[in-house]
Chains A and B, each alone.
Chain A
Amino acid sequence: MMLSGITLGQYIPGRSFVHRLDPRTKILASAVMIMAVLVCNKPAGYVFLTLGTLLALGFAGTSPRLLVGILRPFWVILTLTLVLQLFFTPGQVLLALGPLHVTREGLVLGGQILWRLILLIVFSSLLTLTTSPLMLTAALESLLKPLQRAGVPAFDLAMMMTIALRFVPTLLEEAQQIIKAQQSRGAVFTRGGLLQRVRGLVPLLVPLFAGAFRRAEELATAMEIRCYRVGANRTRMHQLRYDWRDYAVLAGTGTLFLATLALRWWG
């Protein structure tokens, strides 16, 4: 509730360094960083990547509070991953809790996976947090231009992706709205055990799906009445242009990626 309005995939307008980067740069840089996270397997690599992440967060003007907000929806998955790795990796026993053993290897592996997941979440969120969906479409279109020339309907794919992306916050909003509406007339969502709570969500699902379809239809109408048509030539208010910042960021992430790669092979 505290961060209502700031949800997964939500864009937060701003004027930070990262906000002003060319969206294509952001897509490419995020992709490169995600690859770097995936190939990384050395402590030094993690240090590099973490520093890089902190730098990016700093340049995006992200407050620690917002960071917590981004990670919060994932806490179940994150904890579960850590616990599973801790207890179920064979190796040198550090701590025995009855039949369960925490192993040294488990601690290392669990920590690594946890950290990777966090970095991945932060990176993908940073992209959507600092880039408006329409700019993302523009960037995707531009990056996919070679494909379009080859006859793939890349532009429409890009628009579809944007709408899908835009739809995540819309759906969450719809869910929140139905919860609000039901709560204000006496539905209870937060009483009883887990099972009861889950069962309490069922009356939410039917209107949520109905609502999602309605919203989709409304969005289509809204776009059409403003002359949107599939396959038409759109222009952009914001022109995409690379400048020195973009080259610097691309060079930086590229180096980071090569460094983690080098560490993996020779480190």
Chain B
Amino acid sequence: MILVEHLTHIYAPGTPLALTSLEDVSLRIEEGEFVVLAGATGSGKTTLVQHFNGLLLPTAGRVLVDGRDTRDKRVRRDLWRTVGLLFQNPEQQLFEENVFAEVAFGCRNLGLDEGTIEIRVRRALEMVGLEPVRFGTLSPFALSRGQQRRVALAGVLAYRPRVLVLDEPTSGLDPAAREQIWQMLKGMQQHGHTVVVITHHMEDAARYADRVVVLHRGKIYRQGTPRQVFGDPEGLRAVGLDVPMPGELMYRLRQRGLPVNTGILTLDEAEAELKKLAPSGKACPVM
């Protein structure tokens, strides 16, 4: 689906501000996969995903989407239909006068008729937890930041690109909305979409990703299933990341000599694991 080969990216090459933000990155994202990109601040996540829809071009190496090279102008022109990108800052993405027009922008460019657009916009707004009637006519700039992020996300969802590339879609969202967005993305995957998400929430990454890719200083540091990647707390801490809280809890209980399984990623797993320790037959000890 997306194939990155020996990608190097240098910002402002040949000037005193030149900065190598990606170095020899190779990555393959399969059709229908749910990939989470993690990495410390400034590790190059945003730079990497902006290559996926041709906003940035490789300084060296190449990026293929559906087997077509993004350096080709004609390929790039239609890339947006396949790869929808959510920018890291909602302000980077919003420009229309009202929320409806903002969300409809992509659909308009697809050439859909007004009726379909209206349905899709409404659906997209509901998917991100905004009531279409209440928010449709407001200016995106008169919203709270979390609401802006949701509008930006709806703008990508509405025109239904096959690949969703989302740069921190849940940062600044309240816990309920965060949960809702992740669930919704998982649902999109089940409907055949490919999903690439950047996030700093390790617990969410562990719960939803098929594969976690960790960047460190412009290079791929680790990749694998959440269980593989989060199985190495020291390695992750060394690059500014962390393991999910439940994993950490088990790890510490283990250190205290309790016979718990440390390969735990989610709260539900932790709950089940702990309950195993107290067979239901035994009476509860009283403190």
Contact = CB atoms under 8 A, between A and B. Distances in A.
The short answer to whether A and B are in direct contact, CB under 8 Å, is yes
Interface of A: 1-6, 12-14, 61, 63, 65-66, 69, 177-178, 180-188, 190-191, 206-207, 210-211, 214
Given A178-B95, A207-B95, A186 B14 contact: no
A185 B105 contact: yes
B16 interface: yes
B159 A12 contact: no
Given A180-B92, A186-B110, A214 B53 contact: no
B257 to A, nearest CB: 52
B81 to A, nearest CB: 7
Nearest to A208: B95
A12 B17 contact: yes
A184 B16 contact: no
Contacts of A1: 57
Contacts of B15: 3, 6, 12, 63, 65-66, 69
B80 A183 contact: yes
B109 A185 contact: yes
Contacts, number: 75
Contacts of A14: 16
B16 A12 contact: yes
Contacts of A69: 15
A181 B16 contact: no
B80 A4 contact: no
Contacts of B13: 2
Contacts of A6: 12, 15, 17
B141 to A, nearest CB: 6
B131 to A, nearest CB: 23
Interface of B: 11-17, 53, 55, 57, 73, 77, 80-81, 84-85, 87, 92-97, 105-106, 109-110, 141, 155-156, 159
A183 B95 contact: no
B139 to A, nearest CB: 9
B16 A61 contact: yes
Interface of A is mostly: loop
B94 to A, nearest CB: 7
A181 B110 CA distance: 15
Nearest to B77: A188
Most chain A beta carbons < 10 A, residue from B11, B17, B73, B87:
B17
A185 B159 contact: yes
Report, nearest first, the 8 A-B pairs whose CB atoms are least far apart.
A186-B109, A207-B95, A65-B14, A185-B106, A181-B93, A186-B80, A14-B16, A184-B85
A13 B55 contact: no
Given A178-B95, A186-B159, 13 more contacts: A1-B57, A6-B12, A6-B17, A13-B17, A14-B16, A63-B14, A65-B15, A180-B55, A183-B80, A184-B55, A185-B105, A185-B155, A186-B106
A69 B18 CA distance: 14
A195 B17 CA distance: 36
Contacts of A187: 105, 109
A99 B79 CA distance: 48
Contact of B12 (A4, A180, A185, A191): A4
Nearest to B17: A12
22 contacts: A1-B57, A5-B17, A6-B15, A12-B16, A12-B17, A13-B17, A14-B16, A63-B14, A65-B14, A177-B92, A181-B92, A181-B94, A181-B95, A184-B80, A184-B84, A185-B106, A185-B155, A186-B109, A186-B110, A186-B159, A206-B97, A211-B95
Contacts of B73: 190
Given A185-B105, A187-B109, A13 B92 contact: no
A5 B10 CA distance: 12
Contacts of B156: 185
A180 to B, nearest CB: 6
B95 A186 contact: no
Nearest to B141: A214
B106 A5 contact: no
A186 to B, nearest CB: 3
B14 A66 contact: yes
B55 to A, nearest CB: 6
A177 B15 CA distance: 22
Contacts of A180: 55, 87, 92
A211 B81 CA distance: 26
Given A5-B11, A188-B77, A207 B96 contact: yes
A4 B47 CA distance: 13
Contacts of A63: 14-15
Contacts of B87: 180-181, 184
Nearest to A61: B16
B212 to A, nearest CB: 25
A66 B12 CA distance: 10
A1 B77 CA distance: 15
Contacts of B80: 183-186
